[in-house]
Amino acid sequence: MQSSCTSGRAATFAIPALDDAGQAIAATAAEWALYDDRGLPIAAGPVSSFVAGADAAAFRIEAEHLTLAADIPSAGREIVVSFKTADGPVEARDFFVLVASRPLVVMVNSFMSYAEALSVRSSFGPTLDGWDVTSSLTMRQGALAEAFERIARMIFKISHIDPMTHASSYAAYGTGADEPFDTTRRLRLRSLTVEQFDALPDQFRRAVKRAQLMEANVLLGGDAVGKKRQDGVISETIGESSIFFSSKPYLNLPVSRQAFEELKRYVVLQFGVLRA
């Protein structure tokens, strides 16, 4: 199984000649087909190098069939190999993720590029435990993408500017929750284009980017104590030492307390009150 491939590059696959029960099959020929994440066909062809009795079908898929659109950071793909046997065709399936060569797309799954994230990192103190310990580029980029998703769920309000002054940039201003500004002038980052995001105040954009990096740091393991508190742990004993955590209710937010600290002056919180 090939877990991932890079968009725009040809790749070679080897699918074992096994049935659904994992038993070897005696195949005389094989064909492959590639499908997108909606099950729609992309490409297909024979496995010309396959010889009768081979234990796997090895074939190459050209780059033109493994290329994502510019605004898509990743997408799932399915390969189906049909082995021809004396008892009829037997299908074997494999799945992989097609990843853009630059998987962070600004205002699609990140507020900044990876290069800018490194620059933002330099604005913090000497150590961000999760981020600094993790040397894997893939893990860091994945954490930044997840941090974007969490921050994008939140609602913001920039009190010192009047959204009406930006109305000309938003053709559907005030039409509902799917627009950048709703009728109460609350800002929804997921609705913004790169140009619209860049038009927002520098201080707000800086806070959002710092929050994204802080959230990525937490996702990479940089807030062990906060994770324990969020999970409801009151105390922890290791050997002869015990650690006690605050028993105060932990505010459940879409992001960590470190990321929230960067954003709190802009965040709109909504609470529901239930009658006992």
Handedness of CA 8, 11, 17, 23 (dihedral sign): negative
Residue 187 has a pLDDT of: 82
Contacts of 34 (CB under 8 A, 6+ apart): 41, 42, 43, 44, 61, 65, 77, 78, 79
pLDDT, block means (10 residues), the chain with 276 residues:
86 95 95 97 97 96 95 94 96 95 92 96 87 91 96 83 49 46 69 90 95 96 56 57 56 85 85 56
Whole-number Å distance between alpha carbons of 97 and 118: 25
Q: Which residue has the tokens 């877990």?
A: 3
CA 47, distance to chain mean position in Å, is: 34
**Torsional class of 246: left (φ above 0), alpha (ψ -120 to 50), beta (otherwise):** beta
Domains of the chain: 4-99 (2.60.40.1930), 114-163+181-264 (no CATH)
Contacts of 162 (CB under 8 A, 6+ apart): none
- Structure token digits, residue 106: 């600004």
Three-state DSSP at 269 gives: coil
DSSP state of 218: I
Residue 121 · residue 28 · CB < 8 Å:
no
Residue 148 · residue 110 · CB < 8 Å:
yes
